[in-house]
DNA sequence: ACATTAACTGAACAATCGTTCAAATCCTAG
DNA sequence: CTAGGATTTGAACGATTGTTCAGTTAATGT
């Protein structure tokens, strides 16, 4: 029978994904070799192919796992009543979720062009799905008359870009806590949508 | 003596930079080979080295030229009187300038990690300089009491991220003109900074 | 017409790439 | 203790990488 306890594959598999995530984020997918990943894991390059079909799948799986977790975590949150409360929740959630996973976020935004056509379409669909979550909130707010934007789609893109931008400058241990940053950004989001 | 008229180097040089810009933007610096660039120019790979020291310099020169032009173009604009007018000008300028050069913008944001340490520092300094231009405007607006932000630096980063985000979705010939988009974004910027 | 030089070719260099696979090693079930 | 599957090694494959350079081509000033 197959080994149950102490199986190496249950240790090496996650290590491969973790090493790939870290190296892809630091140097870019195309600039990282399978041998670099293997060295980081402490294994020969050939062994990686027990855990991934090829390099492309390694990238795609990391991206899809990230997007799946993003959508699942947002959907699992308790939903508050009013559109404005929901918008605040989205802003705070987005910042916290993204600041907690800088490497995965970086890859999901920067390595889209290294995906095959099929894989790109799949990731892009998930991203659109996430954007729809915000757009639904903005539309509800618009219908309720509590926010004022001339174009819901543009406002969606503007808010997401603004929030995701935090990842480019925020550093742990800086002068502001995550919560303080989220509070300030929530104020700016509210202003941007005229609420 | 050296040839003066009809010099090929005055044609091939720009063609090399244009091809590199386009290919780097489409596939990423690390994924593009010197031979691909040469093929696009219609020349053998060895000939590229008459126009660039190496591949790294090619990337760096493209980035620095972009940042230099960005700073120079902004500085050359006539400066209006009030902070709010200056903020509006910045928002409209940023969107127009960036939408007009999607490839260069893409590279300048995505390929920073492929720069050597020295080159990275140089580009980063230029970026900081550009951010300072916006921050000065926001500080002036804050001093004049016409805008209301708890943190000028955060507002700077938020506004720039929001504006640059247009490049990720805007497509020529879409349902909105550049001017219409710029107008809507200017409204959102104004709201975000409480003006 | 000739000498000069810019512009480019085409081949070569060592290094590294992603991927495969037979053989070796490790660990557990029986 | 042993059989057998899980796990990994280590070498090898052809292809491609950035870069160099001696030699060829083409256009110029005199």
Q: Which CATH number fits domain A1-52: 3.40.250.10, 1.10.3080.10, 1.10.10.60, 1.10.3720.10?
A: 1.10.10.60
* 8 Å CB contact of A154 and B185: yes
Residue ranges covered by each domain of chain B:
1-52, 55-192
Question: Would you say A97 and A14 are in contact if contact means Cβ atoms under 8 Å apart?
Answer: no
Which residue in A26, A184, A187 is closest to B113 by CB distance?
A26
**May I ask the CATH class of domain A54-192?**
mainly alpha
**Number of A–B residue contacts, CB under 8 Å:** 96
Average pLDDT over residues B32-58: 97
Q: Which helix (H) or strand (E) holds A118?
A: helix A117-144
The predicted pLDDT at position B120 comes to 98
Q: Which CATH number fits domain B55-192: 3.30.460.80, 1.10.357.10, 3.40.50.300, 3.10.180.10?
A: 1.10.357.10
Question: Would you say B62 and B24 are in contact if contact means Cβ atoms under 8 Å apart?
Answer: yes
Question: Would you say A59 and A25 are in contact if contact means Cβ atoms under 8 Å apart?
Answer: no
The predicted pLDDT at position B177 comes to 97
Q: How many beta carbons lie within 10 A of that of residue B66, not counting itself? A: 19
Largest CA distance in chain B: 64
Q: Where is pLDDT greater, at A6 or A34? A: A34
The strand ranges marked E within chain B are none
Average pLDDT over residues B75-84: 98
CA-nearest of B110, B115, B130 to B58 is: B115
Closest-CA residue of B relative to A107 is B110
- How many residues make up chain A in this entry? 195
Q: Which tokens is A41 given?
A: 């894991």
| Structure confidence by residue, pLDDT tens digits, A92-125 | 999 999 999 999 999 999 999 999 999 999 999 9
| Structure confidence by residue, pLDDT tens digits, A53-94 | 999 999 999 999 999 999 999 999 999 999 999 999 999 999
What Rg, from alpha-carbon coordinates, does chain B have? 20
* 8 Å CB contact of B158 and A165: yes
* 8 Å CB contact of A191 and B193: yes
Question: What percentage of chain B carries pLDDT values higher than 90?
Answer: 94
Q: How many beta carbons lie within 10 A of that of residue A108, not counting itself? A: 23
Which of A1-15, A49-63, B132-146 is the least confident region? A1-15
Footprint of strand D on the protein (CB under 7 A): A 2-3, 7-10, 12, 42-47, 50; B 1, 3-6, 32-36, 45-46, 48-49, 54-56
Q: How far is CA B173 from the centre of its chain?
A: 22
Q: With beta carbons under 8 A apart, name residues in chain A contacting B56.
A: none
Average pLDDT over residues B29-45: 97
Non-local CB neighbours of B47 within 8 Å, separated by 6+ positions: B12, B38, B41
Q: With beta carbons under 8 A apart, name residues in chain B contacting A189.
A: 192
- How many residues make up chain B in this entry? 195
Footprint of strand C on the protein (CB under 7 A): A 1, 3-6, 8, 32-36, 45-46, 48-49, 54-56; B 1-3, 7-12, 38, 42-47, 50
- Distance separating alpha carbons of residues B23 and B28, to the nearest angstrom: 7
Angle at Cα A126 formed by Cα A125 and Cα A127, nearest 5°?
90
């Amino acid at each position: 029978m197959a080994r149950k306890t102490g199986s190496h594959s249950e240790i090496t598999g996650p290590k491969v994904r973790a090493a790939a995530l870290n190296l892809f984020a630091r140097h870019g997918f195309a600039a990282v070799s399978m041998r670099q990943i293997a060295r980081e894991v402490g294994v020969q390059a050939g062994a990686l192919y027990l855990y991934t079909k090829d390099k492309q799948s390694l990238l795609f799986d990391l991206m899809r796992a990230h997007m799946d977790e993003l959508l699942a975590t947002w959907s699992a949150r308790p939903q508050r009543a009013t559109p404005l409360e929901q918008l605040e929740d989205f802003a705070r959630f987005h910042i916290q979720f993204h600041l907690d996973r800088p490497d995965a976020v970086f890859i999901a935004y920067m390595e889209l062009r290294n995906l095959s056509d099929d894989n790109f379409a799949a990731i892009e669909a998930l991203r659109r799905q996430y954007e729809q979550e915000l757009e639904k909130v903005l539309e509800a707010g618009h219908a309720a008359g509590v926010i004022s934007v001339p174009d819901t789609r543009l406002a969606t893109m503007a808010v997401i870009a603004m929030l995701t931008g935090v990842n480019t400058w925020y550093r742990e241990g800086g002068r502001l806590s995550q919560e303080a940053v989220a509070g300030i950004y929530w104020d700016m989001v509210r202003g941007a949508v005229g609420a």
